[in-house]
Amino acid sequence: MIVYEVKPHDDLFSISQRYNVPVNKIISDNKLSHPEDLVVGQTLVLLPEDTFHTVRRGESLYSIAKNYGIPLKAVQAANPSLRPPYLLHPGMRLNIPMGADKDGAIVVNGYAFPGINHTLLTSTLPYLTYLSIFSAHARPDGSLIPVNDSALIQTARRARVAPMMVVTNMGEEGGFDSDLAHILLTDMDVQEAYIRNILQALKAKKYFGLDVDFEYVYPDDREAYNDFLRIISEKLKAGGYSLTTTLAPKKSDEQTGLLYTAHDYALHGEVSDHVILMTYEWGYTRGPAMAVSPLDQVRQVVEYAVSVIPGKKILMGIPNYGYDWTLPFEKGTSAQSLSNLEALERAHDIGVSIEYDKQAQAPTYTYFDEDGKKHEVWFGDARSIQAGLSLVRDFDLGGVSYWTVNRPFPQNWLVLNAMYEIKKVL
């Protein structure tokens, strides 16, 4: 796999010739909307067959391997006639083994809302281990509000993807409700009914397991939340179901606040089969412009997580969206949410180049609208996905979790599939 950044004056024909990948394949793989008019700074995922490379002046074996996105050892092994110190000269032909080994098999979870497009869902399922259907809301008496999930469960199972029931403390009006969580966690009669209703739904709907996503839990309810997870974990194990829990992106157990305090990383790691790190929303709709999932911040969360949770239980969160902020940012204003494809399309239509922030490992650009107001856009592309997925290898994590798969992002699946095998549990 090669992740190529489009340069000024590039066109698909020249890129095709350089990397020996047919133009039609590049267009098809990347689902390009404007193949004749590439955006400077956009990425292309190139998937050539095993090929050869003609050495140019100044190139080294290391630079060639890096350019093709494959390990140096793989290039050395494919060219046994070369010997240390691997001196190259212009015109030399090297074998380039594009089928280099993947970095093992990982678990991949994708959150989906019931209204997801069926064609999009079926094209995504081959890359998933779990499909987490968002979400079953609770009433204050412990009963569940019905979810239109039957079609998604059936479609997932046909594709050998395990459907996961997601329960949240979201109120009937929408939004996470701290008071509702307090009732569910501290009123034992309500909690007993709540757990009973969850177990009945798991069985009746043929779910594989449960994902508990309680957010904005009152700090004083931390131990009550821990006790709830201990209880429901035992019930689920007895019924043969798995338990996944979601965690706010903490960098230490001392990190406090309504989003963080009640999330006890060590306890979740003890009782859960998997934990999902919500490593996104640094840049968020009502906050200042910045990368949604800056890699330097994500790394700090992962470093703490693996210190208290077995790495193979951890699924690192990856956002499948971006934002467009109007500048200067004013408190109380909202950014516009965009899919990654919409962000690229906007750059094309406006005619701006895309920059890449090396620290955040994320693409970004600015532009002025018709009213003369400046905008700043942050989103994801093949480079940011490759950088994020590399953390899975670096920290030996269990895998990743996408929020959400309701928006198309074809380059993501190309990169994921090139780097890892996808585990299946069905």
Confidence of residue 99 (pLDDT cuts 50, 70, 90): low
Using DSSP, state whether 286 is helix, strand or coil: coil
Cβ atoms within 10 Å, residue 177 = 21
Pick the CATH number of 105-320+381-422 from 3.20.20.80, 3.30.565.10, 3.40.50.970, 3.20.20.450: 3.20.20.80
pLDDT at 207: 98
pTM score, whole prediction: 0.91
Sign of CA dihedral 18, 22, 24, 26: negative
400-419 burial code (b ≥16 CB/10 A, e <16): bbbbbbbbbbbbbbbbbbbb
Say if residue 49 is exposed, middle or buried (CB neighbours under 10 Å; 0-12, 13-18, 19+): exposed
Q: Residues spanned by CATH 3.20.20.80 within the chain?
A: 105-320+381-422
Cβ atoms within 10 Å, residue 390 = 14
The tens digit of pLDDT for each residue in 235-269 reads 999 999 999 999 999 999 999 999 999 999 999 99
Using DSSP, state whether 97 is helix, strand or coil: coil
CB 208 within 8 A of CB 235: no
- Residue 149, CA distances (Å) to 166, 207, 425 in order: 11, 10, 20
Confidence of residue 97 (pLDDT cuts 50, 70, 90): confident
CB 282 within 8 A of CB 291: yes
pLDDT at 100: 63
Backbone φ and ψ of 132, nearest 5°: -100, 115
pLDDT at 309: 98
Residue 69 has pLDDT above 80, yes or no: no
Q: What is the CATH number of domain 2-96?
A: 3.10.350.10
Q: Which residues are catalytic?
A: 215
CB 112 within 8 A of CB 156: no
Residue 219 has pLDDT above 80, yes or no: yes
Q: Express as a percent the part of the chain with pLDDT over 70.
A: 100
**Helices 382-394, 410-419: inter-axial angle, 10-degree rounding:** 30
Q: Any residues with CB less than 8 A from the CB of 311 and at least 6 apart, and which? A: 395, 396, 397, 398
User: In terms of DSSP bridges, do strands 355-357 and 362-368 run parallel, antiparallel, or are they unpaired?
Assistant: antiparallel
pLDDT at 420: 95
The tens digit of pLDDT for each residue in 353-405 reads 999 999 999 999 999 999 999 999 999 999 999 999 999 999 999 999 999 99
| Among 274, 279, 280, 281, residue whose Cα is nearest residue 315 | 274
Q: Any residues with CB less than 8 A from the CB of 119 and at least 6 apart, and which? A: none
Cβ atoms within 10 Å, residue 349 = 11
pLDDT at 118: 97
Average pLDDT over residues 56-74: 88
Q: Residues spanned by CATH 3.10.350.10 within the chain?
A: 2-96
Q: What's the CA gap between 301 and 263, in Å, rounded?
A: 13
Considering only 46-55, 148-157, 159-168, 413-422, which range has the smallest mean pLDDT? 46-55
End-to-end CA distance of the chain: 28
